[in-house]
């Protein structure tokens, strides 16, 4: 297995690790070795502080090989939207219906997401539609919650990551994963509360969690749902 650092340097590890997808990056922000799974790239990512030696990093990988393999196996296979699929969208259930003769792209009508055009473009059009709907609704919800704590959301953006549900910058910009639109309303409300709370508290301190709980009654249940079921939504390409 080859490990690639941000510096571009590489070094080889024993041949028995050749089948383990792994990317290692050096990070000045890390205080300890951090391991996560990148579902989009289907690989493990190890972040190491500058003071950690290559030898220590290799040992850490060896110690956590079983964890890495188990979590990589749990990453869902990529999934496309198809005609007849039933999905949730901001708490409402819809069935995807391909209407090749229809004009106007994608339309919501009486429990259906009606998609025009050729079948080969159906999945992309549904995805783009969800992103557009998400941007509008999540912007509204974010602004409403931000007003409650005397903060302002500068900009909301939809992202296509498969390892994070959202993020909030110190500039007041909030990013959301477009797939969150298919989660239950409680999970959506929790995620928005979580990111908006970071406008006031850029950490995960006790005050931060108090703020989250003040912004949503679904902090515990929403967080639990995402942890237990998030991979089902991350499977969508």
pLDDT in tens, 68-90: 988 888 777 778 999 999 999 99
Structure letter (DSSP) for residue 171: T
The answer to whether the beta carbons of residues 112 and 94 sit under 8 Å apart is yes
* Last residue in a domain, options 49, 73, 97: 73
Q: Which residues contact 169 (CB under 8 A, 6 or more apart)?
A: none
* Residue 113 within a domain: yes
Residue 44: predicted pLDDT: 86
Q: Model pTM?
A: 0.73
Q: How far apart are CA 174 and CA 30, in angstroms?
A: 22
Total count of domains within the chain: 2
The answer to whether the beta carbons of residues 187 and 180 sit under 8 Å apart is yes
Regarding whether 95 and 67 lie in a shared domain, the answer is no
* Last residue in a domain, options 17, 45, 73: 73
* Residue 81 within a domain: no
Tell me the per-residue pLDDT of 113-138, one tens digit each, with 9 for 90 and over: 999 999 999 999 999 999 999 999 99
CATH of the domain at 172: 3.30.2010.10
* Residue 79 within a domain: no
Rg (CA), the chain: 21
Regarding whether 97 and 199 lie in a shared domain, the answer is yes
Backbone angles phi, psi at 173, to 5 degrees: -90, 135
Domain membership of residue 47 as a residue range? 2-73
* Residue 6 within a domain: yes
Residue 12 has pLDDT above 60, yes or no: no
Tell me the per-residue pLDDT of 221-236, one tens digit each, with 9 for 90 and over: 999 999 888 888 988 9
pLDDT-above-90 percentage for the chain? 60
Tell me the per-residue pLDDT of 58-71, one tens digit each, with 9 for 90 and over: 889 889 999 998 88
* Residue 80 within a domain: no
* Last residue in a domain, options 73, 103, 131: 73
* Residue 112 within a domain: yes
* Residue 146 within a domain: yes
Structure letter (DSSP) for residue 79: B
* Residue 78 within a domain: no
């Amino acid at each position: 297995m080859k490990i690639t650092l941000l510096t571009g340097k590489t070094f080889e590890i024993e041949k028995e690790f050749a089948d383990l997808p792994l990317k290692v990056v050096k990070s000045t922000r890390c205080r300890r070795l951090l391991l996560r799974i990148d579902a989009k790239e289907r690989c493990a990512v190890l972040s190491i502080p500058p003071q950690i030696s290559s030898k220590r990093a290799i040992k850490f990988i060896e110690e956590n090989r079983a964890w890495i393999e188990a979590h990589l196996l749990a990453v869902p296979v990529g999934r496309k939207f198809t005609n007849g699929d039933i999905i949730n969208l901001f708490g409402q259930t819809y069935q995807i219906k391909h209407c090749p003769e229809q004009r106007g792209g994608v339309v919501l009508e009486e429990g259906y997401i009606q998609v025009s055009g050729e079948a080969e473009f159906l999945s992309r059009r549904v995805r783009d539609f969800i992103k557009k709907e998400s941007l509008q609704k999540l912007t509204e919800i974010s602004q409403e919650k931000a007003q409650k704590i005397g903060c302002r959301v500068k900009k909301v953006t939809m992202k296509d990551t498969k390892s994070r549900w959202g993020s909030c910058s110190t500039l007041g910009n909030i990013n959301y994963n477009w797939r969150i639109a298919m989660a239950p309303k409680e999970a959506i409300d929790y995620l928005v509360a979580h990111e908006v709370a970071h406008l006031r508290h850029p950490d995960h301190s006790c005050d931060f969690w108090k703020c989250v709980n003040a912004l949503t009654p679904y902090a515990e249940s929403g967080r639990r749902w995402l942890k237990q079921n998030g991979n089902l939504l991350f499977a969508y390409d």
